[in-house]
Amino acid sequence: MPIGYSWKEAMAGIRRAKLMSLLSVSTISAALFLLGAFLLVTVNFRSAVSAFKNKFEIQAFLSEACDQHQALVVGSYIREVPGVADAVFVSKEEALKKFRQELAGQADLLDALETNPLPRSFRVTLRPEARDPESMARIAERILAIDKVEDVEYGREWLGKFYRLGRLLVMLDIALLVIVSLASVIVIFNTIQLTLYARRQAVVIMKLVGATDGFIRRPFLLEGMLHGFAGTAAGTGVLYVFYRLLSGSFPSVIFFRAQQFMLLMAFGVLLGLAGSWIAVVRFLRRMPGSA
Query: 86-118 burial, b for 16+ CB within 10 Å, e for fewer?
Result: ebebbebeebeeeeeeeeeeeeeeeeeeeeeeb
pTM score over 0.75: no
What are the tens digits of pLDDT across the range 164-196? 888 888 898 889 889 888 988 988 888 888 888
- Residue 62, classed as helix, strand or coil, is strand
Instruction: Give the pLDDT confidence score for residue 2 in this predicted structure.
Output: 56
Identity of the amino acid at 172: L
Q: How far is CA 271 from CA 9, 24, 179, in A?
A: 20, 12, 12
Is 136 within 8 Å of 130 (Cβ atoms)? Answer: yes
Instruction: Kindly write down the DSSP assignment for every residue of 100-156, as one continuous string.
Output: HHHHGGGGGGGGG-SS--PPPEEEEEE-GGG-SHHHHHHHHHHHHTSTTEEEEES-H
Instruction: Give the pLDDT confidence score for residue 240 in this predicted structure.
Output: 93
Other CB atoms within 10 A of residue 229 CB? 18
Is 30 within 8 Å of 235 (Cβ atoms)? Answer: yes
Rounded Cα–Cα distance for residues 221 and 280 (Å): 8
Low-confidence ranges of the chain (pLDDT < 50): 1, 107, 291
Q: Which domains are present in the chain?
A: 3-51+169-286 (no CATH), 57-153 (3.30.70.3040)
- Residue 279, classed as helix, strand or coil, is helix
Instruction: Give the pLDDT confidence score for residue 159 in this predicted structure.
Output: 78
Instruction: Give the pLDDT confidence score for residue 101 in this predicted structure.
Output: 65
Query: What single DSSP character describes residue 251?
Result: T
Rounded Cα–Cα distance for residues 280 and 26 (Å): 22
Bridge partners, residue 280, by sequence? none
Query: 243-256 burial, b for 16+ CB within 10 Å, e for fewer?
Result: beeeeeeeeebebb
